[in-house]
Structure 1
Amino acid sequence: MHTIEHDIERPDRRIVDAFEDVPSTIVSDVTGNIGITMDAGMNPAGDGVEMAGTAVTVKAAPGDNLIIHKAITMAEPGDVLVIDCDGYTDVGHVGELMCGSCKANGLAGLVIDGGYRDSRELAEMDFPVYGRGVNPQGPLKQDPGSVNVTVSVGGVSVDPGDILVGDDDGIAVIPGDGAEQVLDLAREKMDAEDTTREEIQSGDYLLDLKGYDKLLEDLEVVGPEDSIQ
């Protein structure tokens, strides 16, 4: 079954824009680390990537990009195209021309759980692109697909309107209805880290500052003599 949903609920633009200054690591920390950060196979096409935007989701048939072309025309400025290709990397589903169209129309980025191509051009484009691999093989255009349905990308479930925060470390996903709370927690975490940064630059150890030494007291520390021979 193929579904194309034009109307999605997006978070307040001011909240989305505020995440441009929040690293993906901070988002991961304040959301509990597990299940909301895409896996390490989702890599940026270039260095120095900064991305924050709302998800327009795409479910595409592996090896086919027809529905991706349609989704590009549906996305609005500030959106991130989030494409589920089942991790298929034997085809480059998107490349320089499609991503150039995204950039020209104000999109905030493109994330594809699948292959892309024109890697050098994308790295130089100053447009955030993440994917699972690179392949020069071109795709088919014969299978429809779905736009703005729940997808699984990078091991994370993504709904239309979720916020994606990306940088060189990877991508974190924030449910749209919890974005304001996550932003508040992120700001608190960043302020706390500023204080900690000053303390460690003065020579203090994180082990002492965070009380990690107490955790060691509860562990049974063994030496080589205790290993199984």
Structure 2
Amino acid sequence: MTHVVVTDIARADAATTAALAEFGSATVHEALGRLGYAGSRIRPIQQGTSISGTAITVRVAAGDNLMVHAAIEQAREGDVIVVVPVTDSAYGFIGELMATQMQTRGVRAYITSGGVRDTQELRRMGFPVWTAHISSEGTVKDTAGSVNVPVFLGSAEVRPGDVVVADDDGVTIVPRERADATLTAARARAQSEAAKRARYRAGEISMDINRLRPVLADLGVQFVTQAEYDRGGR
């Protein structure tokens, strides 16, 4: 089957998915073993928004948003629509009208390696978007694609039903079958960071807390006075 719309996808557990939003994309990326980050090209059009949801994936032709319309029909509350053009495509695949449909259906966000437009309106209506491009140029509706098949959003593979975590730092994808373990690891990491934060506020520094002095020594890094450095540089 070349082009399909898969209608009955399995999704990650809703409670686990919602809980991952608390930790943000960077912590979740670390908790996942430094995996799942979509890359620095996918950026938010708003600030101060953190979301998580289950992926509805969309593979589209360059400059053609036909399959995004098909994906909206498949979306339900708590989903995130993830749109990946088959080639880099700086078109406005969606704007305020399509976002209105998504928001009404309970879609949490729209994420794409393509582009969007109507960004002022999207921010005004409170519909979160992460995108590689912002463009006034619109699309056509002529070319078949697929909905709910595996896609690559930047460097991250996204399968339908995977968890999408996004905030000001970018987008991280958590495989559906690893969502529970990642949540456990994220909670442990957050607790560790809270303990370190308290020690930093008490005056300790990361060189000591993280035992970095032996690392520097093993790498041959020397601590010298200015006079010693000046003498060695002559």
Which of the five TM-score ranges fits, normalised by the shorter chain?
A: over 0.9
Q: Which residue of 1 aligns with 2:225?
A: none
Tell me, what secondary structure is at the counterpart of 2:80? strand
Determine if the alignment matches structure 1 residue 58 to structure 2 residue 63: no
Q: Which whole-Å CA distance do the structure 2 matches of 1:42 and 1:11 have between them?
A: 23
Paired AA for residue 49 in structure 2: V
- Seq. identity, %: 34
Q: Which whole-Å CA distance do the structure 1 matches of 2:148 and 2:230 have between them?
A: 56
Q: Which residue of 1 aligns with 2:25?
A: 24
Structure 1 residue 225, shift from structure 2 partner: 9.2
Structure number with bigger Rg: 2
Paired AA for residue 30 in structure 1: A
- Give the 5 Å matches for 1:33-52: 33-34=34-35, 36-52=36-52
Paired AA for residue 123 in structure 1: R
Tell me, what secondary structure is at the counterpart of 1:173? strand
Q: Which whole-Å CA distance do the structure 2 matches of 1:30 and 1:224 have between them?
A: 44
Aligned residues: CA RMSD: 1.7
Q: Which residue of 1 aligns with 2:73?
A: 73
Determine if the alignment matches structure 1 residue 188 to structure 2 residue 180: no
- Gap change, CA 1:221 and 1:141, over 3 Å in 2: same
Q: Which whole-Å CA distance do the structure 2 matches of 1:136 and 1:127 have between them?
A: 18
Q: Which whole-Å CA distance do the structure 2 matches of 1:22 and 1:154 have between them?
A: 22
- Gap change, CA 1:136 and 1:214, over 3 Å in 2: same
In 2, are the aligned partners of 1:46 and 1:124 still within 8 Å (CA)?
no
Alignment: residue pair count: 226
Paired AA for residue 137 in structure 1: E
Q: Which residue of 1 aligns with 2:199?
A: 199
Q: Which whole-Å CA distance do the structure 2 matches of 1:80 and 1:19 have between them?
A: 14
Q: Which residue of 2 aligns with 1:109?
A: 109
Determine if the alignment matches structure 1 residue 176 to structure 2 residue 176: yes
Q: Which whole-Å CA distance do the structure 2 matches of 1:174 and 1:225 have between them?
A: 53
In 2, are the aligned partners of 1:87 and 1:115 still within 8 Å (CA)?
no
Paired AA for residue 15 in structure 2: R
Which ranges in structure 1 are unaligned for 5 or more consecutive residues? none
In 1, are the aligned partners of 2:16 and 2:183 still within 8 Å (CA)?
yes
Which moved further from structure 2: 180-189 or 78-87?
78-87
Determine if the alignment matches structure 1 residue 213 to structure 2 residue 204: no
Which ranges in structure 2 are unaligned for 5 or more consecutive residues? 223-228
- Give the 5 Å matches for 1:76-87: 76-86=76-86
Q: Which residue of 2 aligns with 1:93?
A: 93
Structure 1 residue 226, shift from structure 2 partner: 8.7
TM-score by length of 2: 0.92
Determine if the alignment matches structure 1 residue 137 to structure 2 residue 137: yes
Q: Which residue of 2 aligns with 1:153?
A: 153
